[in-house]
Structure 1
Amino acid sequence: MNFRQLKYFVATAETAQVSRAASALSISQSSVTTAIRELETSLGAALFIRTRHGMDLTDAGRELLASAYAILSKIDEAQNIRHRDTDASGTIRVAASYTVIGYFLPYHLDRLRRLHPNLTIELHELNRDSIEEGLLSGRFDVAVLLTSNITNPGLESETLLRSARRVWCASGHPFAQRRNITFDEIADEDYILLTVDEAANTAMKYWSAQTREPRVRLRTMSIEAVRSMVANGQGITILSDMVYRPWSLEGKRIATVQPAVQVPTMDVGLAWRRGATFSPQMDLIHTYFRQAFNSPYAS
């Protein structure tokens, strides 16, 4: 067992597809397949069940995934020992929206804590309107939020990540066998509409360009409720890859399919008051995220 094998295994488990794991890692599919085969041989256990819908974890695979996360976290911590900056100190006030705190920030907060142990990050979870007001009034130094939703001209932003939106459906749904799905076909299905972080407003923007509207069965602020209802075959939805997980809380599988018409990405990044003078703490956070995401999109 080695670091490379574990890294490729985790990527495949999270994406449920060798092709998507290879794309995320910028390597060939054969490299991923070989690493998983080597790992299964060394452990003497099958880690995945190969199905028409992708790669389903076995019981042994689920056990290894929990251990792999812990191992990779420790490796990352060890690799960053020489980069640790104990001179950086002070406090920075960071605002973040619900989706960002739940699905983007935790990993980076942990890395920042280990890289800069004397830096205090005051974290505040708020909706976009409150975050924008707080940045303009000086209550917050910087925000991490969905930059695709920012409308206030008094703010500057930098997008770090663009997360594609796809159709989610149960693994046994006929859509799971398809390469792409039209909006007319989606409109024929019950639709589970997520409302948190202005997701409903965003959805209506791209649906407004279509000839039909979604047949909404449920509006909910809970991503886990969406996940469970989709996995149980009670509807479909369109959500971003960033919040995608291949299983519901009940352990049922969720498949994703590309919409036939491209929908806007969910963009995540930093925002601050336009013209603000960066403090050393703001510089540190800005530099960290720029290095973590090598090709930021400035706006």
Structure 2
Amino acid sequence: MSKTAASAEARSIPRFTFRQLHYFAAAARCEQISVAAAEVGVSQSAMTLAIAELERSVGATLFERGRLGVSLTFEGQAFLQQAEGLLHAAQEASRLPFHRPAGLSGRLELAATYTVQGYFLMPMVARFRKLFPNVEVVPIELQRPEIESRLRDGSLELAVVLLSNLESRMGFATRMLASSRRQVWVSHNHPLAGRSVVTWTDLAPYPYIVPMMDEADRNSKRYWQQAGLEPASWIRTSSMEALREMVALGLGVTILSDMVYRTWSLDGRRIQPLPLDQHLPVMEIGLAWRTSPVLSTCAAAFREFLGRNGPQAPDVADAG
């Protein structure tokens, strides 16, 4: 390679650091620089400077700054996916390859519900396959009741589910991997969009959009009943992208978790998340596995792999 070509290639390499990516991801998650800085353990000015340097490095504005905090731009949303991939890869490069069993091979059927499979699980399956290329992981999308039943009768070894939706954990063990808060979604020009917080009374005059998956309809009805109110009407859809488009067009409002939130609809219309004044239970994502007989080697390896990517919460088992 000539000196000119090498110089051009060097100039094309982005000059950002993993620390900047870490700060950027924290700010995107918290939507407030001060909150993200406290979570990471640095000063607000240090985080602000790091993010500004990152934006200069990539040549794009990643956040929109406003009175209530920060929100991802369209470019920021796209960059976040790449940044999270790099952070996960760096994390695993530092620890997992040195502890993996040599020559692990086999087949693992891994069950998950719609939301978990689409918004949480697949990147982890891909990373596991890179570490263990001789293990065939077969994702299976099942409804929550069937997952519970099959874990109990032993026809399913391992699943990743919304723990907060489980009817009973009897007969299998669980481990929480992540949690995701629930917020109100409205269009960016909705009458409620400028609020710092909204109430159920604020939401009642508008149609409420319900995704017909992972029992969101059951949960939504329960929330409204507990509030003692009803929305103006119910709009049901089995398509998450249709739901985002309806919200972005101002056709209704909804309450969903941050895990499935995206700043933009497919047509590039803006969606605004708003906190509700009344606490809602967080959505908990976790592992569930049969307790008897003992897990296969492949299932045990995947359980350990996912456990390294989540909080060190104790396992919960009920063999009754």
TM-score range, shorter chain: 0.7 to 0.9
Alignment partners' CA distance in 1, 2:181 and 2:80: 25
Mind listing any 5+ residue stretches in structure 1 that lack a counterpart? Answer: none
Structure 1 contact 161–296 (Cα < 8 Å) conserved? no
Match of 1:5 in 2: 20
SS of the equivalent of 2:189 reads coil
> Once the 2 structures are TM-superposed, how far is the Cα of residue 231 of structure 1 from its aligned partner?
1.5
Task: Find 1:133's aligned residue among 140, 149, 173.
Answer: 149
Note the aligned Cα RMSD (angstroms).
Answer: 2.9
The answer to whether the aligner puts 1:35 opposite 2:57 as a matched pair is: no
Give the total of aligned pairs. 299
- For residues 226 and 63 of structure 1, do their structure 2 counterparts lie closer, same or farther at Cα, with a shift above 3 Å needed? closer
Match of 2:205 in 1: 188
Task: Find 1:208's aligned residue among 225, 240, 243.
Answer: 225
Alignment partners' CA distance in 1, 2:83 and 2:175: 32
Percent identical pairs in the alignment equals: 41
Match of 2:63 in 1: 48
> Once the 2 structures are TM-superposed, how far is the Cα of residue 219 of structure 1 from its aligned partner?
0.4
Deviates more, 1:37-46 or 1:127-136: 37-46
Alignment partners' CA distance in 2, 1:54 and 1:227: 22
Task: Find 2:123's aligned residue among 101, 107, 114.
Answer: 107
Aligned counterparts, 1:120-269, within 5 A = 120-152=136-168, 153-269=170-286
Alignment partners' CA distance in 2, 1:82 and 1:155: 30
Match of 2:8 in 1: none
Alignment partners' CA distance in 2, 1:135 and 1:81: 30
- For residues 44 and 243 of structure 1, do their structure 2 counterparts lie closer, same or farther at Cα, with a shift above 3 Å needed? closer
Alignment partners' CA distance in 2, 1:155 and 1:90: 23
Alignment partners' CA distance in 1, 2:82 and 2:138: 30
Alignment partners' CA distance in 2, 1:66 and 1:89: 30
Alignment partners' CA distance in 1, 2:56 and 2:178: 36
Deviations 1:247-270 (A, max 9, x none): 111112212111111112211111
SS of the equivalent of 2:223 reads helix
- For residues 297 and 102 of structure 1, do their structure 2 counterparts lie closer, same or farther at Cα, with a shift above 3 Å needed? farther
Aligned counterparts, 1:63-78, within 5 A = 68=83, 72=87, 75=90, 78=93
Structure 1 contact 53–177 (Cα < 8 Å) conserved? no
SS of the equivalent of 2:268 reads coil
The code of the aligned residue for 1:238 comes to I
> Once the 2 structures are TM-superposed, how far is the Cα of residue 165 of structure 1 from its aligned partner?
0.8
SS of the equivalent of 1:255 reads strand
With normalisation by structure 1, the TM-score equals 0.86
The code of the aligned residue for 2:295 comes to F
Structure 2 contact 154–292 (Cα < 8 Å) conserved? no
- For residues 187 and 287 of structure 1, do their structure 2 counterparts lie closer, same or farther at Cα, with a shift above 3 Å needed? same
Mind listing any 5+ residue stretches in structure 2 that lack a counterpart? Answer: 1-15
SS of the equivalent of 1:296 reads coil
Structure 1 contact 16–56 (Cα < 8 Å) conserved? yes
- For residues 220 and 53 of structure 1, do their structure 2 counterparts lie closer, same or farther at Cα, with a shift above 3 Å needed? farther
- For residues 297 and 195 of structure 1, do their structure 2 counterparts lie closer, same or farther at Cα, with a shift above 3 Å needed? farther
- For residues 268 and 3 of structure 1, do their structure 2 counterparts lie closer, same or farther at Cα, with a shift above 3 Å needed? same
With normalisation by structure 2, the TM-score equals 0.81
